[in-house]
Amino acid sequence: MPLPDNLKDTIMPRFHNPLNRTRGFTMIEIMIVVLIIGILCSIAVPLWMGARENTYTKSCVSQLRQIQSAKEAWAIECQMDDSSVPTWDQLLQYIKTQPQCPAGGQYTIGAVVDDPICSYGNDHQID
Ligand SMILES: [Zn+2]
């Protein structure tokens, strides 16, 4: 036998069900979420940019060393002195492809005794 409605409420009170809410978010809740996303972005973006720059620098230094090794191999094999400056065509016999700086710098081969130079500057140089 079903209970009458006025008795149902006194015996089984209707609890607030959080899954059944329909009022949406308040302005304050939306502002807090936007603020948190903004803080996370302001931390993450500079870290990501720094990591990318660091990768470019390491890749460039590695290529500068490769160019220097090719210059030394060329000087030994062709019996050139330390002040000789090879061309890219001569170096490409010792390295597969002409290296490109990932940050957009241009390489200057230079004499055998000197390190090759990247025009990008910063840390793009052999230590
Ligand atoms: Zn470079």
Decide if 83 is inside a domain: yes
Q: Which domain holds residue 41?
A: 27-118
Confidence of residue 109 (pLDDT cuts 50, 70, 90): very high
Decide if 105 is inside a domain: yes
Decide if 71 is inside a domain: yes
Ligand 1 centroid distance, CA of 76 (Å): 26
Residues with a beta carbon under 5 angstroms from ion ligand 1? 60, 101, 105, 118, 120, 124
Confidence of residue 29 (pLDDT cuts 50, 70, 90): very high
End-to-end CA distance of the chain: 91
Ligand 1 centroid distance, CA of 69 (Å): 17
Q: For the purposes of burial, counting CB atoms within 10 Å of the CB of 67, is it exposed (0-12), middle (13-18) or buried (19 or more)? A: buried
Decide if 20 is inside a domain: no
Decide if 18 is inside a domain: no
41-79 confidence digits (pLDDT tens): 999 999 999 999 999 999 999 999 999 999 999 999 999
Decide if 21 is inside a domain: no
Ligand 1 centroid distance, CA of 73 (Å): 22
**To which residue do tokens 């030994």 refer?**
76
Decide if 22 is inside a domain: no
Task: Determine the average pLDDT of the residues in 104-108.
Answer: 93
- What pTM did the predictor assign? 0.68
Q: How many domains does the chain have?
A: 1
Rounded Cα gap, residues 64 and 124, in angstroms: 8
Ligand 1 centroid distance, CA of 99 (Å): 10
